[in-house]
Amino acid sequence: MDKISKRSKGYAFLEYTTEEAAAAALKEMNGKIINGWMIVVDVAKTNPPKYSRGRSQPPA
């Protein structure tokens, strides 16, 4: 959320055919200014499942 305009900045997920193409896009686009907005590019990461206290844990 933009603090001044209170509008969503938006986001996107992109998929590349090779790791090299993804790395090149990250290097080229991260920090670039587009229409007055700085673009932040990062690699999506999967998060491990979260378990609450008192709930069963995954099998060992």
Whole-number average pLDDT of the chain: 85
pLDDT at residue 55 in the model: 60
Find all residues with CB under 8 Å of 58, minimum gap 6, and list them: 49, 51
Neighbours of 29 (CB within 10 A): 13
pLDDT at residue 2 in the model: 76
pLDDT at residue 21 tops 80: yes
**22-60 per-position pLDDT tens digit:** 999 999 999 999 988 889 999 988 888 887 676 666 665
Can you give the three-state secondary structure of the chain, one letter per residue? Answer: CCCCCCCCCCCCCCCCCCHHHHHHHHHHHCCCEECCEECCCCCCCCCCCCCCCCCCCCCC
pLDDT at residue 20 in the model: 97
